[in-house]
Amino acid sequence: MAVDPFLSVRGLGKSFAGHPAIQNVTFSLERGRTLGLVGPSGSGKSTLARCLALFETPTSGEIWLDGRNLCGLNRRERAAMRADIQIVFQEPASSLNPRFTAAEIVTEPLLIRRLGTGKTRRQRASELMETVGLPREALQTPALEFSGGERQRLAIARALALEPKLLILDESFAGLDLSVQAQVANLLLDLQERRGLTYILISHDLAMVWRLAGEIAVMDHGSIVEHASVADLLARPQHPLTRELLDAARALSLDGAPA
């Protein structure tokens, strides 16, 4: 492991009204890698994601991204840092304003940050649509008229508009049919290869996680209980919860989970 990793989280904790949602979370991640974050509901995965995306202020601990400490930034610095970290939410439908057109959605981050002119933004909109494999003709279509998978692509296209370094996918595949999941997964792998993006993938779907992720962190009761490479985790699960999750996944899978 390098001395100064791309993302380093040290002793992170967040409490809501005195109740800890995550505590003492420590891990690091290299640039261009994917970390899968798994665990039962309520184990603090989403809280961790929201802290990393600077939506929540951690109660304790530090987040270092690319040599900069994200905790203890003032409002303005935090707003600037947000360009580097993007999150794609659980439900793409609710994260897109149904009144907006595809063009308005994917260029919204640029508009908010007053980047470029109307003309360059329109140009960027068609590039982004192409990147995520949506037809350019759909730019003027209202968000309401897209299918679930297309909305997910729109959400990813929007997240890519600011050229982030870290992309957090919080249950972004839930509710999509399998062929669309596969398409989006391929899209993500392709983007990672071309742009060196770093992903944190939160999912209940272990098959998806070991398809995309190089390493997996298992969370339970607000802490990371096991963190290993995918191969190690599948071969030698240490924590009882990890074993439980793997057994459950194998039981559900028709042809047996890859091992």
Contact positions toward another protein, by CB under 8 A? 53-55, 79-80, 82-83, 86-87, 89, 91, 93-97, 99-100, 108-109, 112-113, 155, 158, 162
Over its C-alpha atoms, the chain yields an Rg (Å, rounded) of 18
For the CB of residue 40, give the shortest distance to another protein in the complex, in Å.
23
For the CB of residue 89, give the shortest distance to another protein in the complex, in Å.
5
For the CB of residue 82, give the shortest distance to another protein in the complex, in Å.
5
- As a whole number of angstroms, the distance between CA 12 and CA 7 comes to 13
Convert 42-94 into a string of H (helix), E (strand) and C (coil).
CCCHHHHHHHHCCCCCCCEEEEEECCEECCCCCHHHHHHHCCCEEEECCCHHH
Considering beta carbons, is residue 170 or 220 the nearer one to another protein?
A: 170
Q: Using an 8 Å Cβ cutoff, are 34 and 9 in contact?
A: no
Considering beta carbons, is residue 64 or 100 the nearer one to another protein?
A: 100
Q: Using an 8 Å Cβ cutoff, are 38 and 218 in contact?
A: yes
For the CB of residue 169, give the shortest distance to another protein in the complex, in Å.
14
Considering beta carbons, is residue 27 or 89 the nearer one to another protein?
A: 89
- As a whole number of angstroms, the distance between CA 143 and CA 100 comes to 6
Q: Look up residue 23 and give its two tokens.
A: 């505590």
What's the Cα-to-Cα distance from 47 to each of 16, 80, 138, rounded to whole Å? 10, 21, 34
Considering beta carbons, is residue 16 or 55 the nearer one to another protein?
A: 55
What's the Cα-to-Cα distance from 26 to each of 12, 121, 198, rounded to whole Å? 7, 39, 17
Considering beta carbons, is residue 86 or 203 the nearer one to another protein?
A: 86
Return the closest-CA partner of residue 40 out of 229, 237, 223.
223
For the CB of residue 180, give the shortest distance to another protein in the complex, in Å.
19
Instruction: Give one word for 216, left, alpha or beta, with left for phi > 0 and alpha for psi -120 to 50.
Output: beta
For the CB of residue 197, give the shortest distance to another protein in the complex, in Å.
17
For the CB of residue 77, give the shortest distance to another protein in the complex, in Å.
11
- As a whole number of angstroms, the distance between CA 203 and CA 88 comes to 12
Considering beta carbons, is residue 111 or 252 the nearer one to another protein?
A: 111
Considering beta carbons, is residue 129 or 160 the nearer one to another protein?
A: 160
- As a whole number of angstroms, the distance between CA 231 and CA 106 comes to 37
